[in-house]
Amino acid sequence: MSVLRRLFEKKTLARDLLALSLVLGATAVQAEGPSLAEAYKALASRKMVDLTHSFSPSTPVWQGFGQATFTTASDPKTYRPYTLEKDGFRTTFYSMVGQYGTHVDPPAHFHENGITLDQIPLREMLLPLVVLDITPLLGKDPNHAITVQDILDWEKKHGRVPEGSFAALRTDMYKDFGNPERFKRHPFPAWSLAAVQFLFEKRKITAIGHESLDTDITSTLDAEKWVLGQGRYQIEVMAHLDKVPPTGALIVVTWPKVANGLGFPARAFAIVP
C-alpha cells in the first residue's frame, strides 16, 4: 500500500471517528442538577425572545454577495409551478448565499482547516447569554468599537462574564434592518480585536454575536478572522438584543446541517429569567 493511500485511509478513519462523535454528541458528563422534566418546566414557563430577523429577497446583504431570489417551486420536468389548487401543496425555491439574514459563520469561512458548520458541537447551541450594551456610548461616537475597559465596566455592574457563554454586542443597529442602505453603512458600531481576544482568552466564552453584517470595521476583518481562527463560531445580523437582560438569560442558537457548510441562515432565541 502506498504511503499516500495509507495517509488517506488514516485521514478517512479520523474523519469517520469525528463524524461518529459528532452524531453521538460529546461524551455525556455526569448529569447534574434538576431532572430534564424539571428543567423543561423552568424553560417552558419563561418568556422567549426571538433574536432572529425574518429574511426575504429584499433583506440587506453585503453588496459583494447580492440579493437572494425566492421563486415558486416548479416541476423540474414541465417547469409548471406547483399550486395548492392543482397539486395540494406549494413551496419555494431559494437561490442565495449562505451569509444571508441572521446567519452563522463557522471557522472554515475564513480558514482552510477550520471546522465547517456541520461540525460545530450540539453542546455549543445552548449557552448562557450575556449582552454587552454599547448604546450609551454611541451618542458621542456612533461607530464606537467595544473596548476591554467597556467589558470591565460591564462586569462591575453585572458580574464576571461566565465561562462558556455566548457574548452578544448590543448596538440597536438591528432597528435599521428595514432600511438596507443605512443598515449596510461603514463604519458602524463593532467589536475591537482586543475585546474579542479578552472575551475568548480571559473569560473563555464559547461564541459571539452582533447585529451588523460584519464583526469589525477593519479592511482585513481582524476581529472576525481572529475569532474564527480560534475554532469559534459567530452569529451575524442578530435582532432584539434590547429585549433581553445583560445576564441571566439562555440562548438557543442552531442552524441547518449543511454538509461542509461555510455559512448558512441560523435561528437564535433567548429564554429570559
227: helix, coil or strand?
helix
C-alpha cell, 6: 495509507
What is the rounded (10 degree) CA torsion for 117, 239, 201, 221?
70
How far apart are CB 14 and its own copies at their closest, in Å? 8
CB of 264 to its own copies, least distance (A): 7
- Closest approach, Cβ 141 to its own copies, in A, equals 27
251: β partners: 127, 270
- Grid cell of 165 as nine digits: 457563554
The Cα–Cα gap between 123 and 143 comes to 34
Is 144 or 240 the residue whose CB approaches its own copies more closely? Answer: 240
Q: Shortest Cβ distance from residue 113 to its own copies (Å)?
A: 11
Query: Which residue number, 30 or 136, has a Cβ lying nearer to its own copies?
Result: 30
Least Å from the CB of residue 139 to its own copies: 26
Q: Closer to its own copies at the Cβ: 34 or 142? A: 34
Q: How far is CA 182 from CA 61, 137, 172, 173, in A?
A: 12, 19, 13, 9
* C-beta of 45 vs 136, nearer to its own copies: 45
Residues 6+ apart with CB under 8 A from 236: 99, 102, 103, 105, 209, 210, 212, 213, 214, 215
At closest approach, how far in Å is the CB of 44 from its own copies?
7
Q: How far is CA 62 from CA 68, 134, 188, 233, 271, in A?
A: 11, 23, 14, 19, 30
State the Cα–Cα distance between residues 226 and 228, nearest whole angstrom. 6
**What is the distance between the alpha carbons of residues 73 and 260, in angstroms, rounded to a whole number?**
25
Give min distance, CB of 257 to its own copies, in A. 5
CB nearer to its own copies: give 104 or 144.
104
Strand (E) positions, 113-189? 126-133, 145-146, 166-170
- Least Cβ distance, residue 32 to its own copies (angstroms): 4
Asked whether the bond before 187 is cis by omega within 30 degrees of 0, the reply is yes
Q: Which three cell numbers stand for residue 234?
A: 459567530
Residue among 123 and 182 whose Cβ is closer to its own copies: 123
